[in-house]
Amino acid sequence: MRQSKLVGTLAVLPSFVIVAGFMAFPVMFAFYISFTKTNGLTYDWRGLDNYIAIFSDPIVHQVFLNNFKFLISVPLVIFSALVCSILLFEQFKGWKFFRVIFFLPNVLSVAVIGLIFRNAFGYDGAVNQFLGLFGNEPMQFFIDSNYSILIIILALVWSGFGYQSLLLLAGLTSINPAVFEAAAIDGAGWWRRLWSITLPNIRKVLGFVFIINILYTFASLFGFVFVITAGGPGYETTTIDFLVYLRAFSSNNLGSGAALAVLLFFFIGLLTLLQNRVFKLQKDD
Amino acid sequence: MSDSISSRLTPRAKWPIFIGMCLVAATIIYPLFFVVVTSLRSNVDYKRDPFGLPVDWTVTNYIELWDEYGVGRAFLNSLFVSTSAVAVILILATLAGYALAKLPVFGSKFFTATFVSVMLLPGPVLIIPIYLVLARLGIVGDYSGLILVYVATGLPFAIFFLTLTFRAIPDELLEAARVDGAGFFRTLWSIVGPMGASGIATLAVLQFLGTWNELIFALILVPDAQMRLLTPTLATIGKRFVSDQPLTSAGLFISALVPLLLLTFASKYIMRGLQVGLSR
């Protein structure tokens, strides 16, 4: 028994060393860096200076506000995913094929999806060409911040709704079919069943989808912003994760970028804790 | 899921749903179709009538990207890095997953807690410290550094996934193997591997897609243009040639090709992975 305990531990150890060395340690290192002024070679202890600078930095305020603007995508994605999942759940002919189609954007890189949208809304892109068919002059969508944000939101919805409708579909499939039958026998119509059985039964999956969408808007917009708008015009579409990148590789103080990353880390941690609470409730499913 | 459930809509009522879903599917398929068609025409031809079919079909965009902008090399670089990272992840995660699922391990709770707690760590938090750590080790601009980062970021989910997969293997089988005198590696090779094969395949596909599509680390950890991977190369080309849509479309299609092929031939595995992704 002791022998096999040693073998088991040795089998886990290589993975642990790599994960500890290149994920856990870097996070702690980021904490340290955030208290210093550094160019990567010398570290100058500055205490809370970086944090104070961040809280009084108007660009950071604007960028944080931008992230909240991107939250508009959350209800849009969830609503379209919900509609699709409920319709898929009717299991009409070929629904399995649709499942694969809806999943398709999810296997593509954000760079690919982002460029498809950038191209489509470019000066000689498909959208302008289409508007041109009705005699409209081509527009420069990306010099306008509202259009730029809308285009990124559109990319988010397009690439996100399919996967999430499959998550919701998994939730729907786990509802006991007897409940539906009983309701049908009691004379409840389709809409009534949707409202009183289907939706209440997937509220936990809905909660999960809600949280991952918010996490996504705060921590994973880098790719879209990078290829679609590069944060512009000005800082109008720059998100926190993109600002971390900008600060890290275009300024001479990595400490400031690290402090921003640490704040993002706590924010994400808070949301994850919230998600875990949602999941505790779900244990008995 | 039988079809006899009376609570379902009647076949007649399903028709509008089917048509609606076709429209939704078209919003996904049409942009991709547009990209493919655009990539096969000249820029002049595109500007004349973007929505029609090309007057003359041509592959010059692909040849140009391949010969002049290093997309061919980037494609091979990506293939090398992704394959290596996935291979290492599979080996390490199989070892760890099997141990955590079926063997006694010192401090197994501690290990599991570590893996779970870093699983949802957002990339932006890691870019600065990882860059500095790799710089200190002298492996920025070297594939080994990038592969190491992909392995580290991929492992937590991989171990979680395989632990769940291997737990389903009956203990009696492992016990029988032990009685027969099979050691750790022998059991792994002839029982755990074959029994968990579909789980391992699912994981391989998911991890490959993840590394193939990854942008931020590939961008910052491999600054040398000669060594660039495909996704960052595409991003750079897309930003540079804003007014040559056929050229960027060809780049898009090259980048999307491998993921689309995987989805076509391994959709069974991808869909299975989805269910587990939900349960975490």
Q: Examine the pLDDT at A148 and tell me if it is beyond 90.
A: yes
Can you give the residue ranges of every domain in chain B? 11-60, 71-279
One-letter amino acid of B50: P
Mean pLDDT for the stretch of residues B13-18 = 80
Q: Can you give the pLDDT at residue A19?
A: 94
CATH topology of domain B71-279: MetI-like fold (1.10.3720)
Q: Tell me if A15 is assigned to some domain.
A: no
Q: Can you give the pLDDT at residue B279?
A: 47
Mean pLDDT for the stretch of residues A211-240 = 88
Q: Examine the pLDDT at A280 and tell me if it is beyond 70.
A: no
Half-sphere exposure in the Cβ direction for A216 (13 Å, CA): 23
A218–chain B nearest CA distance, Å: 9
Q: Can you give the pLDDT at residue B1?
A: 40
B124 contacts in chain A (CB < 8 Å): 219, 222, 240-241, 244-245, 261, 264
Mean pLDDT for the stretch of residues A37-58 = 84
Q: Do the Cβ atoms of A173 and B238 come within 8 Å?
A: no
Q: Do the Cβ atoms of B215 and A226 come within 8 Å?
A: yes
Task: Provide the domain limits for residue A146.
Answer: 71-238
- Percent of chain A with pLDDT strictly greater than 90: 26
Q: Structurally, how many domains does chain A consist of?
A: 1
Q: Do the Cβ atoms of B25 and A122 come within 8 Å?
A: no
Select from B46, B103, B275 the Cβ nearest to the Cβ of A8: B103
Q: Can you give the pLDDT at residue B144?
A: 93
Interchain contact A278–B (C-beta under 8 A): no
CA distance from start to end of chain B: 24
Scanning A8-37 for CB atoms below 8 A from B yields 8-9, 11-12, 14-16, 18-27, 29-30, 33
A147–chain B nearest CA distance, Å: 18
Mean pLDDT for the stretch of residues B114-136 = 86
Mean pLDDT for the stretch of residues A49-74 = 90
Q: Can you give the pLDDT at residue B80?
A: 96
Q: Tell me if A112 is assigned to some domain.
A: yes
Mean pLDDT for the stretch of residues B190-210 = 90
B2 vs A51 pLDDT, higher one: A51
Picking from B7, B84, B231 by the largest number of A CB atoms within 10 A of its own CB, the best residue to mutate is B7
Q: Do the Cβ atoms of B106 and A9 come within 8 Å?
A: yes
CA distance A72 to A14: 43
Residue of A nearest to B156 (CA): A19
Structure confidence at residue A282 as a pLDDT band (50, 70, 90): low
Scanning A133-192 for CB atoms below 8 A from B yields 158, 162-163, 166-167, 170, 173, 177, 180-181, 183-185, 190
Q: Examine the pLDDT at B171 and tell me if it is beyond 60.
A: yes
CATH number of the domain within which A76 lies: 1.10.3720.10
Interchain contact B35–A (C-beta under 8 A): yes
Q: Do the Cβ atoms of A109 and B212 come within 8 Å?
A: yes
Mean pLDDT for the stretch of residues A137-160 = 91
Q: Do the Cβ atoms of B215 and A111 come within 8 Å?
A: yes
Structure confidence at residue B261 as a pLDDT band (50, 70, 90): very high
A4 contacts in chain B (CB < 8 Å): 103-104, 184
- Three-state SS for chain A is CHHHHHHHHHHHHHHHHHHHHHHHHHHHHHHHHHCEEECCCCEEECCCHHHHHHHCCHHHHHHHHHHHHHCCHHHHHHHHHHHHHHHHCCCCCCHHHHHHHHHHHHHCCHHHHHHHHHHHCCCCCHHHHHHHCCCCCCCCHHHCHHHHHHHHHHHHHHHHHHHHHHHHHHHHHCCCHHHHHHHHHCCCCHHHHHHHHHHHHCHHHHHHHHHHHHHHHHHCCHHHHHHHCCCCCCCCCCCHHHHHHHHHHHCCCHHHHHHHHHHHHHHHHHHHHHHHHHHHHHCCC
B83 vs B10 pLDDT, higher one: B83
CA distance A265 to A50: 16
Mean pLDDT for the stretch of residues B106-120 = 87
Structure confidence at residue B213 as a pLDDT band (50, 70, 90): very high
Q: Examine the pLDDT at A284 and tell me if it is beyond 50.
A: no
Q: Can you give the pLDDT at residue A97?
A: 85
Q: Tell me if A267 is assigned to some domain.
A: no
Q: Tell me if A226 is assigned to some domain.
A: yes
Residue A134 structure tokens? 């009705």
Span A99-129, pLDDT tens digits: 888 889 988 999 999 999 999 998 888 888 8
Q: Tell me if A14 is assigned to some domain.
A: no
Q: Can you give the pLDDT at residue A3?
A: 67
CB pairs below 8 Å between A and B: how many? 309
Spatial CA neighbour of A197 closest among A179, A171, A210 = A179
Q: Do the Cβ atoms of B126 and A103 come within 8 Å?
A: no
Structure confidence at residue A37 as a pLDDT band (50, 70, 90): confident
A3 contacts in chain B (CB < 8 Å): none
Interchain contact B229–A (C-beta under 8 A): no
Q: Examine the pLDDT at A144 and tell me if it is beyond 60.
A: yes
Structure confidence at residue A181 as a pLDDT band (50, 70, 90): confident
Picking from A86, A115, A131 by the largest number of B CB atoms within 10 A of its own CB, the best residue to mutate is A115
CA distance B86 to B271: 19
CA B185 to chain centre: 28
Q: Can you give the pLDDT at residue A6?
A: 87
